[in-house]
Amino acid sequence: MLVTDTYQLIGHTPLLKVEIAAPHDVNIYAKLEMFNPGGSIKDRLGMALIQRGIAEGKIDAQTTIIEPTAGNTGIGLAIAALKHHLAVKLVVPEKFSFEKQTLMQALGAEVINTPSDQGITGAIDYAKKLAAELPNAYLPLQFMNPANPDVYQQTLGPEILRDLAGRPLAAFVAGAGSGGTFAGTAKALQAAYPQLENYVVEPAGSILNGGPQHSHRTEGIGVEFVPPFFKDVRINGIQTIEDDAAFHYVRWAARHLALFIGSSSGAALAASLRVAATLPQGANLVTIFPDSSERYLSEHIYD
């Protein structure tokens, strides 16, 4: 495959049939989003946010992009900003991984840390303040920007449908941080499979199942408020996964699949096995592996 720039490598990731003994012999398929050039599912979003901002006249050649992010969206935005020669400032709670912050800086972005105990909400508030102070700043705000679910509805969902090549699909299982991946992909899939069941994955400590809010080691998923994108998508259940279970499957994937997956992927696999137990014999289930473990080695992801 000959390509002439890195940006062409965004999307078109493989769908892996995961070799695992799932309940009811359910077939689990995982979309391997670590194969995007920036290493995560959020490369798709970075490009979409900048392209939409340009199309809507909110970004010109002098605009500084400012965004609160747990990291992967920051890397995706920094890649898209390079393509369009734009400056980027990323506001990241300091607890997020050293590797992700280093990669954002390597791409030319400025990283500004906010205190971990203020969570993503603190980063959002700080980014808004910074944008108000700069004369020509654009804040894509992935947490409310409809470009977020839209890009997954337009790219990830149709890719999965193509990869399944007509196999019937019973369930879709995906983690939620902003909720864009889940909502957009679920919409595309449920349009093709009206009986589809959609399950959201969150780490224990996230609020969707009404559990108490607390910090967690699983990175990239978990919410502090209900994503606005959930309004117009069917949700059949919420799977709350303990950190230990997520990290168990991170180690399992390395040993059994020769695959390096991040903790949100581990949580997605743990949740998929639970959902499989509720499905008919031999049903097909699709999940998403958003990134790789390599960007969490400093956090001792395999310990």
Sites of contact with ligand PMP (CB under 6 A): 40, 42, 70, 72, 175-182, 219-221, 262, 264, 290-291
Closest approach, Cβ 182 to ligand PMP, in A, equals 6
Pairing assessment for the beta strands 87-93 and 64-68 based on DSSP bridges: parallel
- Reported as half-sphere exposure (CB side, CA atoms, 13 A), residue 41 has a value of 34
d(CA 61, CA 84): 8
Pairing assessment for the beta strands 110-114 and 197-203 based on DSSP bridges: unpaired
Closest approach, Cβ 185 to ligand PMP, in A, equals 9
Closest approach, Cβ 221 to ligand PMP, in A, equals 5
d(CA 71, CA 130): 18
Nearer to ligand PMP, 140 or 220 (CB): 220
d(CA 47, CA 287): 23
Nearer to ligand PMP, 86 or 176 (CB): 176
Q: Of the candidates 230, 223, 221, which has an alpha carbon nearest to the alpha carbon of residue 287?
A: 221
Closest approach, Cβ 233 to ligand PMP, in A, equals 12
Nearer to ligand PMP, 46 or 53 (CB): 46
- Residue whose structure tokens are 């799932």: 22
Nearer to ligand PMP, 93 or 290 (CB): 290
- Residue of this chain nearest to ligand PMP (CB atom): 220
Nearer to ligand PMP, 26 or 70 (CB): 70
Closest approach, Cβ 287 to ligand PMP, in A, equals 11
Nearer to ligand PMP, 70 or 283 (CB): 70
299 DSSP 8-state letter: G
Closest approach, Cβ 128 to ligand PMP, in A, equals 19
DSSP string, 136-168: TEE---TTT-THHHHHIIIIIHHHHHHHHTT--
